[in-house]
Structure 1
Amino acid sequence: MASTVVKPLSEPHPVASAIHRNLNMLSNALSWAWLDTVCQYRRSRIGPLWETLNVLVMLLGLSVVSSAIFGSSISDIIAYVGVGIIVWSAISALVIEGGGVFVRNAGYLSNSTLGLGLYVGRTVFKIMITFGHHAIIYLMGVVFALVPLVWTSLLAIPGIVLLFVNGFWVVMVLGFICARYRDVELIVRNLMQLAFFVTPVFWNYRQIASNRQFLVEYNVLFYFIEIIRDPLLGQVPPLGHYLTVLGFTVAGYALAFFVYRRMRGQLAFCV
């Protein structure tokens, strides 16, 4: 009788296995974030649109204040202020929510073997879902001809991608640091309130004196806002804005790698 040789199954390539594992983790994080959003607004009539309504009210109020201070008409600045507020709401949420990501999930961290990336992705994707609801305000601006709809608007897509790609390392780093040093979370919240006023969210940076331009040039949050706001307002962002954001992204993930290696083993004792 002829013998049958059974060939052993080849092991998957380590890179392919890592990619598959991370994609599966991101898929689970997105599902978890969607479930969080649904449960949070389960008995609400309009659900997460309440947050969008809050942003809309803030937009209208800041537009009136800005027009009174800088002498511009509301119709001229409402689009600028509106897109700025929408992007800022995502930036602020990533920073503030990131500080408590591991503390909020202390029960899971202590009693399960789920990867830390799942908790980080859960937070980032939930903020992304809320950001998607805020985009309704932009669509309203298009309908009422307050915002131009041109081909350059598509350049906002890589800007949005870069924003939330950076969100992963920001949430990771702040999650570790704020879990170890609880006062840092409160300090970060206060600093974000200050950053809102020194970042050109509702005021035009082109109107400040040349000797005050350093408030913009050395503010990395400005570049994240502009690579999204400029395209949506029909302008092409300068190449330097993208290079600054890309450099900050690389530096941020290097910092996240360092923090993860140093603080991963201590996390269970901090939460």
Structure 2
Amino acid sequence: MASAQLGGRTYRAALLDLRTGWTQRQLWAHLGWQDIRQRYRRSVLGPIWISITMAVTAIALGVLYAGLFGNDLSIQLPYILVGFIIWNFIAGCISEGSEVFISNVGLITHLPAPLSVHVYRLVWRQTLFFLHNLVVYAIMLIVFPQNLHWSDLAAIPAFVVLVLNGAWVALLLGVVTTRFRDLTPITQSIVQLAFFLTPIVWIYRDLLNSPNPAIAERARLAELNPFLHFVEILRRPMLGEPQELRFWVVALVITVVGWALTMVVLRRYRSRVSYWV
């Protein structure tokens, strides 16, 4: 009965796919952990390379941009480092999400499991990367102490919002790019472009508070970038900065609209993914 419902083209079947996939946590959690172990199987340092690479890049860019913009390194470096930690999660969900079903063609064609299992596996893997990078964040707090308060625990629900969006993005892109393979490299190119358009290495508030009205006005256009809002709701509490309601409103609206669109696509095309791969 469950298998029949799982194969239908109804919202109930789509929800059942998500629910059934969630109940198979032991499966996708194990697969996600094995993905990381396999990637660094013959490496001496293992997953530590993830954090080392990110830390070295953040330090280099922090020193460079602190000099270019005339900012104190104690401000610029933590800003960039936390931005990198958040961006790596976002970019990972999008880039790998565009290949989530294509790269799991063997499991999809031979293992009778909900499609959501592969998405949960991807998001779990990116979550492990994120948690691993928090080691660098902890070191940063020792070197450059931040004025953190209990209210900054808002970082936890902010990360939950990121996870929810990472899931629907990976699911939606996974279905669409499985049908239209040319969208995969296009998606990855867009992610690279979005990195430069999002305030990861440049400080948004500095431009917003610029004495030059033209620069401040153009800086406002950055808020049309949806990635800015997701980065800010998490980076601000991680750096002990006050939250701004508009970032949360935009992020939550995108979450609701994104999941609504994903459910429509999942209902219509979920059963065809196994043929498209």
1:242-261 paired onto structure 2 within 5 Å:
242-261=248-267
CA distance in 2, matches of 1:265, 1:175: 13
- Give the counterpart letter for 2:41 in structure 1: R
Q: Secondary structure at the match of 1:213?
A: helix
1:28-67 paired onto structure 2 within 5 Å:
28-67=27-66
- Percent of aligned pairs with the same amino acid: 33
Alignment correspondent of 1:230: 236
8 Å CA contact retained: 1:148, 1:232: no
Alignment correspondent of 1:191: 190
8 Å CA contact retained: 2:22, 2:117: no
Q: Which runs of 5+ in 2 are unaligned?
A: 1-11, 208-214
Alignment correspondent of 2:69: 70
Q: Secondary structure at the match of 1:114?
A: coil
CA distance in 2, matches of 1:239, 1:149: 19
2:224 to 191, 215, 218: 218
How large is the Cα RMSD of the aligned pairs?
Answer: 1.9
Output one character per residue of 1:186-214: Cα deviation in whole Å (capped at 9) or x when no partner. Answer: 01111111111111111111222222134
Alignment correspondent of 1:178: 177
* Residues 85 and 98 of structure 1: CA distance in aligned 2, closer, same or farther (over 3 Å): same
* Residues 22 and 97 of structure 1: CA distance in aligned 2, closer, same or farther (over 3 Å): closer
User: How far is 1:137 from its partner?
Assistant: 1.1
8 Å CA contact retained: 1:32, 1:122: yes
User: How far is 1:20 from its partner?
Assistant: 7.2
Q: Which runs of 5+ in 1 are unaligned?
A: 1-13
8 Å CA contact retained: 1:67, 1:73: yes
User: How far is 1:22 from its partner?
Assistant: 4.8
Output one character per residue of 1:43-99: Cα deviation in whole Å (capped at 9) or x when no partner. Answer: 322211111111111101111221122111222211111111110111111100000
1:13-28 paired onto structure 2 within 5 Å:
21-28=20-27
Aligned length: 256
**Larger deviation: 245-254 or 256-265?**
256-265
8 Å CA contact retained: 2:21, 2:113: no
Alignment correspondent of 1:8: none
Bigger relative contact order, structure 1 or 2, given CA contacts below 8 A and separation 6+? Answer: 2
Larger of the two Rg values belongs to structure: 1
TM-score (ref. length: structure 2): 0.87
TM-score (ref. length: structure 1): 0.89
8 Å CA contact retained: 1:198, 1:215: no
Runs of 4+ in 1 over 6 A off after TM superposition: none
Q: Secondary structure at the match of 2:101?
A: helix
Alignment correspondent of 1:11: none
